[in-house]
Each structure stands twice: as structure tokens, then as C-alpha cells.
């Protein structure tokens, strides 16, 4: 906590507020229980918090919100001698179609909320603020858990400091390019790519698209909602919030071992800077009115020039994302907004977007693979990836190439789609038999199915349900008739390639003394 950033994250900090159908217990704010059932709604309101006169405020929260639950933060400020109405950020959960409220700023309003930032119009700014967290559930057995509430103000006449020069201090953070991700959204996912890098630095293994779909704001129509982005990190168990900061503050985070996300705007050449009215930041790619990147360190050159070390996702490749920019230029390009993310708290409950494991099986249609979950076929919607011109899902895959990668996101991804039959389209024609493919099917809310298949694949006959009898059919076509003692070793050798089929075949062999050929036509592995 600084004199302009306020973080509530323990019982002492929450105790001074007002509880309505809520209670603080076991390290979190939750709905109250009666007879073992949670109430459907409640709220918590902070006391009036005094701050230096400010002209802007950003708020954030960390919460675990299981399916059927949600939280909503609202803020009000004291400006022009009166309190403004409560300004809500919109209900939030990874399992909701998240949407901030439409921007409303009447000319006579002392302050208004623009997606994620409160702008104060009143002369002299505001001097007080309050936060109100509302908790909701549709399931009396579940409650959201709020672990952190934060607000940071931008003081009027703020004098930002640069702090002392660092010779070389760098935090290891994996670097990802947003431009090689899903081409439908790659150019606009700098914020989720940035927070993915920050979380993966701590040991997560997330994909930028996974975070992007869980982060989308349907009112803002994009991924640029700072509060929603930090909330995503919070639902994985990390302490993460948005704050106004200066270079000295970033250096302090780096010295403590924490990389940060920063919001910048810039032009790449002096000509573009003059033409667009943007600060010059040499070494960047293109021009932008708003962009997020990771600050991972600082260093000082032999001539005394200070540099900031970054992972800039707007790069042609992952390796090219690791850059350094002149600190004096960066200071002008950075507006002072930062994502602060610290290590995961093991005591927190987590409720991130779901991940499940599935299996792909080749169909009778060339290049189409059916998705199976827990042995049951799941047909995907034909508009899974795009609805009404909006990217609502991502289907992609990787091919085993024998290389080791620091994280899954570093692998080479191939982006594909869903067929009219509801199957995953894979280009496996040129792949050697036995090549391992892993598909990633990411839905509209960020939930992901990871499914594997071998390049040559095995056929899923459309007219044959893979039950017990089908296993006998498949296996009889795969191996010649033979006794139990010969069959079982052969099953074992093929289990890694065909785990589902071989388990069924093993069960069939144990049930009978041997397998007799039943029907070979149209059924093969």
C-alpha cells in the first residue's frame, strides 16, 4: 500500500467495513450461511477512504467464483462537495458472459466510469472514495470468495519519480508474441498475452487464447478491460491488481522479484510520432494508442543510458518479444498504469476456467476427427469459432517434434476450425504414421479441452458405437485370431497409441478365452 494505492487483503483490513449478508472467515469474504445454506446475495462496503486529491481511480478484485456465482465491484467518489452515485464494474466470473456497463457521462457529472477507470471532472478532483463488493450465488451450496479489493488513484499534479539506476536486474519471464496466435484475435490480445506471461512466470502453463476468451468484455468488445484482466489472475490464486505507479515503483517490484504489466502508447519513428501525436519509442513495431507489455527488468549501458527490459507481445515471434527500450522514451510512452502480480497464495480457493481431457478419433471423412469426452462423442457447434463476426472460440493443435519447450505456449500452433459435421479439422495427410498431435479446443468462456490423437489416427466409424461389442470388432480386424496368451502382450504393446480401444479389447479378452473374427468390413484401426 502506498499513499495512493489501497489494498484490502486480510481480516484486519476488511474488519472496518460494513457487512450485509456477508462475513469474513477463513481468509475470504463470503456470503453468510443459515442452516448450511448460503444466502443468494450480499454485499460488503468499505469505510470512506481518504486519498490525496485525485482525477482518476482504477479498482480491482481477486475472487474465486465457481460456476453459478459472481461478484461485482462498484465505486463512488466524493467530488464537488457530494458523493457520486455508485458506479458498478459489471458482474464478473470466468463462467459468465462478462460485460462492463455502458459508459455514461453526462456533462454535469462530477465523475464517470469509463469501462475500468473512474474519471473525475470536478475542479480540484476528488478526495474520498468507497468500494462496494456484491456477492451472488444461484447455488445455496456455493459462495464466491473475495480475497482482495484494491483501488489506486492518480493524484492531481502527480510528480512521478524514476528512482536510482539499476546496473542489471532482470526477472525471468517467458516471452510470447501475440501476432503468432489465433489470427482471428492475435492483433488485439496484448492484455491477456501480458498476464499469461506474468502467470506462467510463476509456474502456470496457460495459453494466451485461453486467457483471452476468459477475459473478453462483451460491452467493451475487446480484451482491454484492466480490471477483468487482473481478476483472471486472481481466480487462479494470484495476488494481482491494477495500480498507478512510476518508474521508481516498477524498479521496486523488479528488485523484489516481481515482473509487471504496463499500459503504453507510442510511435516507432520520429515521423510517425509527429504525424500521430504519440511519444517516440524506438525499437517498437508500429504505432499504437494503447498497448500492454511486460516489464521484466532494468539495466544501465556503458555510456550511462538507462534501459527498460520488456517482453513486448507485439512482435513477429516469441524470441523477438524480448526487447529493451530507452528508459527516458519509455517513461513518456507509459501512462502510469500497471498490473502488479505476486506469487500464488496456496491458502486461496481457485476457480479458473475449466480444463478437461478428451480424445480425438478419425472419422470416415478425410481430415475430420470426432471429439470424445469420457468415452462419449461430443459434437461441436459449427459456429464454435465465430458467431456474428465475433471470435467466440479457438481450435488449434501442436505436432510432436521432439523438442523440449519451457511452456506449452512456446510450441508451434496450427489454427483450424470445426467441420459442418461438428468435428475438428486436422491436416494430417502429410504426417508420418504415429505422429502425436495435441488439439486445444478453447470455448467462448475460456474453458478448454485438450485432446490427443496419432497422426495416422484410428477410424471412428459413424455407424458403429464404440461399446463392448465394437471393441471386439475392431480388435478382430487389427490382430489375427489367436489365443489369450498371445493377444494380451499385443494389446499391451499398442496401449500407448490406442489407450481407449485397447482397454476395451483387454476387457473382451478377459471375458472370453479368445476373440473370433466377427465383421471386418468398414472397421479398422
What residue ranges do the domains of the chain occupy?
Answer: 5-155, 168-344, 355-454, 468-511
**Given this model, what pLDDT does residue 108 score?**
81
**Given this model, what pLDDT does residue 399 score?**
95
**Given this model, what pLDDT does residue 512 score?**
36
The DSSP H or E segment spanning 509 is: helix 499-511
Quick one: CATH architecture of 355-454?
Sandwich (2.60)
Q: CA-CA distances (angstroms) from residue 275 to 269, 286, 334? A: 10, 13, 19
Residues 6+ apart with CB under 8 A from 107: none
Closest by CA to 252, choosing from 334, 325, 342, is 342
SS3 463: coil
**Given this model, what pLDDT does residue 1 score?**
52
**Given this model, what pLDDT does residue 433 score?**
79
Compute the distance between CA of residue 474 and CA of residue 463 in angstroms, rounded to an integer. 13
271-280 own/partner pairs: CB under 8 Å, 24+ apart: 278/333, 279/329, 279/332, 279/333, 280/329, 280/332, 280/333
Reading the block at residue 504, the C-alpha cell is 476395451
CA quadruple 508, 512, 518, 520: dihedral sign = positive
The DSSP H or E segment spanning 293 is: strand 288-300
Compute the distance between CA of residue 306 and CA of residue 324 in angstroms, rounded to an integer. 10
**Given this model, what pLDDT does residue 407 score?**
97
Compute the distance between CA of residue 76 and CA of residue 79 in angstroms, rounded to an integer. 10
Quick one: CATH architecture of 168-344?
Alpha-Beta Complex (3.90)
Closest by CA to 222, choosing from 180, 192, 252, is 192
Closest by CA to 211, choosing from 62, 355, 72, 388, is 355
**Ranges in the chain, pLDDT < 70:** 1-2, 455-525
CA triple 351-384-233, angle to 5 deg? 25
Does domain 5-155 fall under CATH 2.60.120? My reply is: yes
β-strand pairing of 288-300 with 168-170 = antiparallel
Q: Are 48 and 126 contacting, i.e. CB atoms less than 8 angstroms apart? A: no
**Given this model, what pLDDT does residue 454 score?**
76
- pTM for the structure as a whole: 0.86
**Given this model, what pLDDT does residue 460 score?**
56
Compute the distance between CA of residue 168 and CA of residue 133 in angstroms, rounded to an integer. 41
CA quadruple 109, 114, 117, 123: dihedral sign = negative
**Given this model, what pLDDT does residue 226 score?**
97
Amino acid at each position: 500500500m502506498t499513499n495512493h494505492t489501497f489494498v484490502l487483503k486480510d481480516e484486519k483490513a476488511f474488519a472496518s467495513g460494513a457487512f450485509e449478508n456477508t462475513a469474513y472467515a477463513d481468509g475470504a469474504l463470503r456470503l453468510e450461511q443459515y442452516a448450511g445454506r448460503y444466502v443468494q446475495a450480499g454485499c460488503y462496503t468499505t469505510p470512506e477512504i481518504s486519498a490525496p486529491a485525485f482525477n482518476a481511480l482504477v479498482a480491482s478484485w481477486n475472487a474465486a467464483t465457481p460456476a453459478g456465482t459472481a461478484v461485482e465491484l462498484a465505486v463512488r467518489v466524493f467530488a464537488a462537495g457530494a458523493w457520486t452515485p455508485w458506479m458498478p464494474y459489471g458482474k464478473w466470473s470466468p463462467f459468465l458472459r462478462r460485460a462492463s456497463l455502458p459508459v455514461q457521462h453526462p456533462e454535469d457529472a462530477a465523475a464517470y466510469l469509463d469501462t475500468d477507470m473512474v474519471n473525475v471532472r470536478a475542479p480540484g478532483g476528488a478526495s474520498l472514495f468507497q468500494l462496494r463488493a456484491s456477492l451472488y450465488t444461484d447455488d445455496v451450496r456455493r459462495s464466491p470468495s473475495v480475497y482482495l479489493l484494491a483501488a489506486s488513484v492518480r493524484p492531481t499534479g502527480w510528480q512521478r519519480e524514476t528512482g536510482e539506476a539499476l546496473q542489471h536486474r532482470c526477472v525471468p519471464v517467458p516471452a510470447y508474441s501475440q501476432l503468432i496466435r489465433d489470427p482471428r484475435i492475435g492483433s488485439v490480445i496484448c492484455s491477456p498475452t501480458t498476464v499469461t506471461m506474468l502467470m506462467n512466470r510463476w509456474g502456470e502453463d496457460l495459453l494466451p487464447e485461453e486467457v483471452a476468451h476468459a477475459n473478453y468484455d462483451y460491452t467493451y468488445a475487446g480484451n482491454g478491460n484492466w480490471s477483468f484482466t487482473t481478476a483472471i489472475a486472481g481466480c487462479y490464486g494470484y495476488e494481482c491488481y491494477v495500480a498507478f505507479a512510476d518508474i521508481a515503483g516498477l524498479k521496486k517490484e523488479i528488485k523484489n522479484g516481481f515482473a509487471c504489466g504496463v499500459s503504453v502508447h507510442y510511435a516507432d519513428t520520429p515521423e510517425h510520432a509527429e504525424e500521430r501525436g504519440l511519444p517516440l519509442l524506438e525499437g517498437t513495431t508500429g504505432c499504437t494508442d494503447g498497448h500492454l507489455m511486460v516489464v521484466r527488468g532494468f539495466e544501465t549501458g556503458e555510456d550511462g543510458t538507462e534501459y527498460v527490459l520488456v517482453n513486448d507481445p507485439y512482435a513477429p515471434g516469441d524470441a523477438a518479444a524480448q526487447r529493451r527500450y530507452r528508459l527516458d522514451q519509455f517513461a513518456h510512452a507509459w501512462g502510469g498504469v500497471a498490473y502488479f502480480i505476486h506469487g500464488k497464495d496456496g491458502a486461496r480457493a481457485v476457480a479458473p476456467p475449466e480444463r478437461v481431457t478428451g480424445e480425438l478419433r478419425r472419422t470416415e471423412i478425410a481430415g475430420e476427427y470426432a471429439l470424445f469426452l469420457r468415452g462419449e462423442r461430443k459434437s461441436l457447434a459449427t459456429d464454435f469459432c465465430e458467431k456474428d463476426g465475433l471470435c467466440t472460440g479457438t481450435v488449434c493443435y501442436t505436432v510432436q517434434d521432439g523438442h523440449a519447450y519451457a511452456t506449452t505456449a512456446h510450441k508451434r500452433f496450427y489454427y483450424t476450425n470445426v467441420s459442418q459435421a461438428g468435428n475438428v479439422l486436422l491436416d494430417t495427410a502429410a504426417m508420418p504414421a504415429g505422429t502425436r498431435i495435441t488439439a486445444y479446443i478453447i470455448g467462448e468462456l475460456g474453458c478448454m479441452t485438450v485432446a490427443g490423437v496419432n497422426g495416422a489416427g484410428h477410424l471412428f466409424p459413424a455407424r458403429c458405437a464404440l461399446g463392448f461389442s465394437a471393441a471386439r470388432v475392431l480388435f478382430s480386424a487389427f490382430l489375427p485370431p489367436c489365443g489369450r496368451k498371445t493377444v494380451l502382450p499385443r494389446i499391451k504393446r499398442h496401449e500407448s497409441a490406442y489407450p481407449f480401444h485397447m482397454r476395451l479389447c483387454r476387457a473382451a479378452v478377459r471375458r472370453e478365452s479368445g476373440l473370433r473374427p466377427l465383421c471386418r468390413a468398414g472397421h479398422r484401426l
